[in-house]
């Protein structure tokens, strides 16, 4: 049926945007990791270094949590698509079985 092909196209667009979001988050993680390295080698006093590094690590943890959330959403979406596709497939099979059992009452 053409309806199922349209729904699969729209779902693939969603997964692409999810992976784009994840790659953006990974880029941000790389930047924060560089900032942590720069702060470790900076000439700031130990207390200032520690405070800045803690802030950067907190941001890093938030970004990692967001990536995990995006990945789990993608997994849930993929499994939801599989359930929907099997429902459509079984419905198509039922429809074809029903069309073979037409009784001609006027015969």
Helices (H), 1-107: 2-40, 46-100
> Is 84 domain-assigned?
no
Place of tokens 């429809």: 95
> Is 56 domain-assigned?
yes
> Is 64 domain-assigned?
yes
> Is 66 domain-assigned?
yes
Which uninterrupted H or E stretch holds 44? Answer: none
| 90-106: average pLDDT | 62
> Is 20 domain-assigned?
yes
> Is 71 domain-assigned?
yes
Number of structural domains the chain divides into: 1
The distance from CA 86 to its chain's CA centroid, rounded to whole angstroms, is 21
> Is 54 domain-assigned?
yes
Q: Is the pTM of this model over 0.85?
A: no
Contacts of 44 (CB under 8 A, 6+ apart): 52
**Boundaries of domain holding 26:** 2-78
> Is 74 domain-assigned?
yes
Q: What is the pLDDT of residues 33-87, one digit of tens each?
A: 999 999 999 999 999 999 999 999 999 999 999 999 988 888 888 887 777 766 6
């Amino acid at each position: 049926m053409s309806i199922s092909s349209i729904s699969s196209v729209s779902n693939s667009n969603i997964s692409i945007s999810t992976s784009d979001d994840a790659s953006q988050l990974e880029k941000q993680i790389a930047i924060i990791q560089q900032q942590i390295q720069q702060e470790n080698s900076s000439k700031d006093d130990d207390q200032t270094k520690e405070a800045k590094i803690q802030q950067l690590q907190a941001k890093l943890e938030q970004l990692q949590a967001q990536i995990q959330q995006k990945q789990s959403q993608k997994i849930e979406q993929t499994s939801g698509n599989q359930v929907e596709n099997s429902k459509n497939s079984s419905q198509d099979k039922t429809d074809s079985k029903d069309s073979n059992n037409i009784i001609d009452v006027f015969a």
